[in-house]
Amino acid sequence: LRVTTFGESHGPAIGCVVDGCPPGIEIAPADFAPDLARRATGKSRHVSARHEDDAVEILSGVHEGRTTGTPVALLVRNTDARGKDYDAIAGQFRPGHADYTYWQKYGTRDPRGGGRSSARETTMRVAAAVIAKKWLAQRHGVHVRGYLAQLGEVLPRACDWAAVEANPFFWPDAAQVPELESYMDALRKSGDSVGARVTVVATGVPPGWGEPVYGKLDAEIAAAMMSINAVKGVEIGDGFASVMQRGSVHRDQATPDGFLSNHAGGILGGISSGQQLLVSVAFKPTSSLRLPARGVDIEGKAVEVVTTGRHDPCVGIRATPICEAMLALVLMDQALRHRAQCGDVGEVSPRIPPQA
């Protein structure tokens, strides 16, 4: 499975091509709406105020409601682009933004907002993954879901899946939502931004997906997550906490009734163990701030950079569906690759249940 995207934040449209989809997957434009709405801007006062329709047009690869096996091309027209918002900083590099590195790489850049580096691009990852999520659920009983596991300094006090979809933060503790609202209101008033951690979990992944040395499942997941804008860290299972653990604690003991813990996050030696896949992703604070910062313009002169316009004070708030999408796309790819190489091997015994 190969997904590529195109388009700029303030251009006419964004889109993606999903190549390598098996034929016969039922897909209609309406299937995309729920996940795109979960990711969208303008849904609460805590995210960018841009109002996009995010309506998906299927351009190819689907006939009479089913994938044909040829490349699936999806298009979303930008309906609320406002490139003029960026005229004041068109010749400047925002500190902490990809403006500078795009300029160094290409010697030119689209100065309308983030252009290609904008979080707008993630719309198409989420759209592509609607197909992957559907196929994984129907074909393998694999489900991917996520939640916001940290907002700045705030940590959840409980982890209740039922709460996650009932608040604009994807927060797993309903009782803390008012605290988050005040936290974000104060942050927005201050003009600053903050980072966040998103945790994604895949259930139903059978043992055996992934590659043992090159293209390890954890490496593929890390690369996929790192390709999302603003991501600065990825952990699998206990991740960096493993540094302080003893082997006697970290090893996931097993009985015939199931594994007794999941410190490894469902991956051993680059291959899925059949336990839940646990992935945590760190998002940096957004760099587009109205607080003045010292910067340099394209002539190399010192300037004071002030960014106005519509921005997320915490881009991590909308990132849960994006991380889910990347995990689903990696898993669909791994499932297809596993079938191609080892399809004839079938189920191997003994199979240890994911959890005792």
* Binding track, positions 77-116, relative to ligand EPS; x by CB under 6 A: ------------------------------------xx--
Residue selected from 5, 67, 92, 118 as contacting ligand EPS according to rule CB under 6 A: 118
- Residue 119 near ligand EPS by CB under 6 A: yes
Main-chain dihedrals φ then ψ at residue 20, nearest 5 degrees? 95, 10
- For the bound state, the minimum distance from the C-beta of residue 307 to ligand EPS, rounded and expressed in Å, comes to 8
* Binding track, positions 153-182, relative to ligand EPS; x by CB under 6 A: ------------------------------
Q: Which of residues 249-308 bind ligand EPS (CB under 6 A)?
A: 286, 288
- For the bound state, the minimum distance from the C-beta of residue 340 to ligand EPS, rounded and expressed in Å, comes to 34
Residue selected from 46, 94, 109, 120 as contacting ligand EPS according to rule CB under 6 A: 120
Residue selected from 231, 315, 319, 329 as contacting ligand EPS according to rule CB under 6 A: 315
- Residue 5 near ligand EPS by CB under 6 A: no
Calculate the alpha carbon distances from 176 to 159, 167, 229 in Å: 11, 10, 27
Main-chain dihedrals φ then ψ at residue 136, nearest 5 degrees? -60, -40
- For the bound state, the minimum distance from the C-beta of residue 144 to ligand EPS, rounded and expressed in Å, comes to 20
Main-chain dihedrals φ then ψ at residue 319, nearest 5 degrees? -90, -10
- Residue 187 near ligand EPS by CB under 6 A: no
- Compute the Cα dihedral for 97, 100, 103, 108 and give only its sign: positive
- Residue 231 near ligand EPS by CB under 6 A: no
Nearer to ligand EPS, 36 or 164 (CB): 36
- Residue 205 near ligand EPS by CB under 6 A: no
- Residue 9 near ligand EPS by CB under 6 A: yes
Asked if 27 and 65 touch (Cβ cutoff 8 Å), the reply is yes
Residue selected from 312, 316, 335, 338 as contacting ligand EPS according to rule CB under 6 A: 312
Residue selected from 25, 46, 50, 278 as contacting ligand EPS according to rule CB under 6 A: 50
- Residue 199 near ligand EPS by CB under 6 A: no
**ω into residue 350 within 30 of 0, thus cis?**
yes
In sequence order, which residues have a C-beta less than 8 Å from that of residue 244 and are 6 or more positions away? none
CA 107 to chain centre: 29
Asked if 136 and 142 touch (Cβ cutoff 8 Å), the reply is yes
Looking up tokens 């991590």, which residue turns up? Answer: 316
Q: How far apart are the C-alpha atoms of 75 and 60, rounded to whole Å? A: 10
Q: Please indicate if the annotation marks 44 as binding a ligand.
A: no
Q: Please indicate if the annotation marks 337 as binding a ligand.
A: no
- Compute the Cα dihedral for 241, 242, 244, 248 and give only its sign: positive
Total residues contacting ligand EPS by CB under 6 A comes to 18
Residue selected from 5, 48, 199, 273 as contacting ligand EPS according to rule CB under 6 A: 48
Q: Please indicate if the annotation marks 39 as binding a ligand.
A: yes
Q: Please indicate if the annotation marks 42 as binding a ligand.
A: no
Asked if 305 and 89 touch (Cβ cutoff 8 Å), the reply is yes
Nearest-5° angle of CA 322, CA 210, CA 331?
Answer: 30
In sequence order, which residues have a C-beta less than 8 Å from that of residue 324 and are 6 or more positions away? 35, 129, 133, 144, 145, 146, 200
Q: How far apart are the C-alpha atoms of 296 and 302, rounded to whole Å? A: 5
In sequence order, which residues have a C-beta less than 8 Å from that of residue 340 and are 6 or more positions away? none
- 138: tokens are 């129907």
Nearer to ligand EPS, 135 or 170 (CB): 170
- For the bound state, the minimum distance from the C-beta of residue 343 to ligand EPS, rounded and expressed in Å, comes to 38
> Residues at the annotated binding site?
39, 45, 116-118, 229-230, 269, 284-288, 310
> Residues at the annotated binding site for NADP(+)?
39, 45
The binding site for ligand EPS (CB under 6 A) comprises 9, 41, 48, 50, 52, 113-114, 118-120, 123, 286, 288, 309-312, 315
